[in-house]
A and B are shown apart, each in its own frame.
Chain A
Amino acid sequence: MLRLHEYRYHRPTSLGEALALLEEHGPSAMPIAGGTDLMPNMKHRLFTPAHLVALKRIPELHGIDVGEREVRIGAAETLAAIARHPLLRDRLPSLATAAGLVAGPQLRNMGTLGGNVCLDTRCTYYNQTLFWRSALGFCLKKDGDVCHVTKVGKKCVAAHSADTPPVLITLGATLDLVSPRGERSVPVADFFVADGVRNTVREPDEIVVAVRIPVPPPTTHTAFQKLRQRGSIDFPLLNVALAVDLDEGDVVRDLRLVVSALGARPRVVAGLDKIAVGRRLDDDVVDAVARRAFDQCHPLTNITVDPEWRRAMVPVHVRRALLAARTPAPAAP
């Protein structure tokens, strides 16, 4: 049994009301959407906000609008709604696939896209009960000043562990945020920072209202791959998203590849314009891209599996993603 601390639970029915609550209660308030990340974290006393501002009843955070050029998904839409949406499966198949591979069925009925984008980073030494953490001694990310992973480092290396942001980065998606101070839009690619303590540029009183995603042209092929211990429930040990634009001769016009669940920020694999763009996507190019991804990824023991194995799986999953994108299969059932 894991008891929660005492808090007030506010259920605003408009965005304005929610922002007023966040402003009124300042640092003692936190937004909550599906609660599938925040509730376990509160049970572990990683957060103890005196006020929770529930987002699910706010109409502005709902709706899946699939336009010709752009898709808008309200931040409070559930992962299940995204995974089964016929138009999303058709136009943004890698996003629907990634949403459908998050956690298990009940959690996808609860968890939202906004919560997935804002998911807290994860680490073996962090996602534990207060009792567990106090026994070992607290860590950098919460209440302590040492990193139990690197032992010496002064930077938190907890892993970004969400499945949809890597896909959103490859698709060039943008987040619409609102705070009591106003609105702004941030590309998902610029939303994350390499600091495991707080790995996004979101201010504590900012609400993600919607995710906007440009609809890729028919020549762009996308794929998503996920490594985990079991076929369900588990967080990713590694995930890979890609979007590749090919001309009629299978020559690469553009290639975006993101590898994540390793460090605090999704890694955009760099230097692909030199080894892939302008070339036919043949086996040599696939191998070269997989090798490039391997060279740039250095997993740590922030998750209790062998980091060497996780690293060795990087080129395997990059290759699978590239092959899937090269021979586009019909939409998954």
Chain B
Amino acid sequence: MHAILTLIVNGDRRDVGIPEHYTLLEALRYGLGLTGSKQGCDKGDCGACTVLLDGEPVLSCLTPAWEAEGRAVTTVEGLAEPGRLNPLQEAFQVTGGAQCGFCTPGILMSAWALLQRNPAPTREEIRAALAGNLCRCTGYTKILDAVELAAEMLAAPTRARRGGEGGQAAAPAGAVRSPDPAVAAAAPGSGSGRDTAEGLAGEAAAPAVAGGEP
């Protein structure tokens, strides 16, 4: 049976006509076309479908769609502002925290919820917050680096902007588009993302725009 469900997704009120037995993930992907949240295992094992419900990370593949009615749903599409990535997304680009990218939307949401309640998490706290998200590519180190970097960028937007002093100087926090050669050249250690992340840990240096490959 179809019915109309009203959801508040990324701050917007959206009405969606869906079968009553849909999961929240199906409502988002097939009802609203928000395909950022991934359908990985579809049974609670992997975390790729993680969204925030009233700010808390939940698995949308196991959440009946109607449980979300009237509650704030935040998906990965809600992180970036038009034309500008969220600093957390920037940080993943910088450290190479995403490879195939399939796990990334879920990991971003778990990490974003963590940074909202704990702006300066320890490495252990980051690990604990991401313990429900599997990644088959990265080996996790660069993901943890990315969340640490994001915490720094969010805490010190002005410092984190330093590397962009040329053309990008006016850009807001973390608005570094890493493929931009001018910015990449200005950044220290622009070889691999990993060097950059370590450089940052050392002196809270600039953003670290990793030049070439993520």
Contacts and interface: CB of A to CB of B under 8 A. Distances in A.
B67 A54 contact: yes
B121 to A, nearest CB: 13
Contacts of B128: 105
A129 to B, nearest CB: 9
B72 to A, nearest CB: 14
A233 B132 contact: yes
Given A40-B43, A106-B47, A106-B110, A4 B23 contact: yes
B44 A9 contact: no
A1 B44 contact: no
Helix, strand, loop or mixed for chain B's interface?
loop
Contacts, number: 85
Nearest to A7: B21
Interface stretch (A31-39, A162-170, A192-200, A263-271): A31-39
A269 B42 CA distance: 38
A110 B132 contact: no
Contacts of A44: 43
A56 interface: yes
A55 to B, nearest CB: 11
A40 B132 contact: no
Name the residue in B39, B44, B45 with the highest tally of chain A Cβ atoms < 10 Å from its Cβ. B44
Contacts of B45: 233
B56 A54 contact: no
Interface in B14-57: 19-23, 39, 42-45, 47, 50, 56-57
Interface in B105-143: 110, 128-129, 131-134
Given A6-B19, A6-B21, A105-B110, A35 B64 contact: yes
B59 interface: yes
A52 B62 contact: no
Contacts of B187: none
Contacts of B66: 9, 11, 54
B82 to A, nearest CB: 28
Interface of B: 1, 19-23, 39, 42-45, 47, 50, 56-59, 61-64, 66-67, 110, 128-129, 131-134
Given A35-B62, A80-B56, 4 more contacts: A8-B20, A9-B21, A105-B110, A105-B131
4 tightest Cβ-Cβ pairs between the two chains A and B: A104-B132, A232-B131, A40-B43, A39-B62
